[in-house]
Amino acid sequence: MSENEFLAERFEAHRSRLRAVAHRMLGSTAEADDAVQEAWVRLSRSDAGAVENLGGWLTTVIGRVCLDMLRSRRSRAEEPLESGPVVASEALDPEQDALLADSVGVALLVVLDTLSPAERLAFVLHDLFAVPFEEIAGILGRSPAAARQLASRARRRVRGAPVPDTDLVRQREVVDAFLAAAREGDLEGLLAVLDPDVVARSEGGVTSGAAAVAAGARRFASFSRVALPALVDGATGLVVLEDGRPERALTFTFAHDRITVIDVALSPERVSELHIDLV
């Protein structure tokens, strides 16, 4: 076995954990995979033989990569969403915390969007993956006390956030109303089902606020006319088919019978990663 193959084998042993960390940090499967790939690139360019604790080293790298990606989002004017569920773990078992995060899925990602990049990193790494504050401080370039304070502030915001709706029937009614209003170019109808701080995200960027998202929905009225109801990765969504294959997909997150997040998959690569069931 060559040295590069041996290094790749060692990296693969940590891939699932790195991907779990990146997904909690970024809220996107595609971006998480990009972050993991970047971690591999940095490892392959480093003096890996001098790394005593590869798992810890890789966690630090993935944390820094994700932090850069989150800050880049902010520079493109992405705003945090002010709604989400109560999800926080006091356990110190990283695998159990990862399973907990998987069990709440989109709900956890919604509430994490309320946090600043530094708060999100401190909370995810410490509360979900039991990374010591000393290591988190090194990633953030702050003191351990400051890192602890960031995680504590994030934890309070997470616990104080409202729980998103889980009634799929009611969610479908809201999406149907959204779809009908988009088809008719009905601004008032769109605003009635959108949370004031709704966020719409796609590969092309982020739109924040009900007025901006409603305007965007009206511009894509032609898309709404051919959209079909679907479950996208188990969540309430819409899909557009071309030759019987999904071409575009929208996933919705809700709180208090209003849409709080719209995730739009436009590229074939993104759409192919989704599990889609037509309703």
Cβ(165)–Cβ(183) under 8 Å?
no
Minimal CA–CA distance to 171: which of 259, 263, 274? 259
pLDDT value of position 200: 86
3-state helix, strand, coil in the chain (%, to 5): 60, 15, 25
Does the structure show a pLDDT above 90 at 122? yes
Using 50, 70 and 90 to split pLDDT, how confident is the model at 100? very low
pLDDT value of position 75: 59
Q: How far apart are CA 185 and CA 214, in angstroms?
A: 9
* E strand or H helix that includes residue 266: none
What does pLDDT average to over the chain?
A: 80
Does the structure show a pLDDT above 70 at 85? no
Using 50, 70 and 90 to split pLDDT, how confident is the model at 166? low
Query: Do you know the residue count of the chain?
Result: 279
The lowest-confidence range among 113-117, 180-184, 217-221, 244-248 is 217-221
The conformation of residue 165, written as its DSSP 8-state character, comes to P
More confident residue, 160 or 259: 259
Q: What is the pTM of this model?
A: 0.51
What number is the average pLDDT over the span 124-134? 88
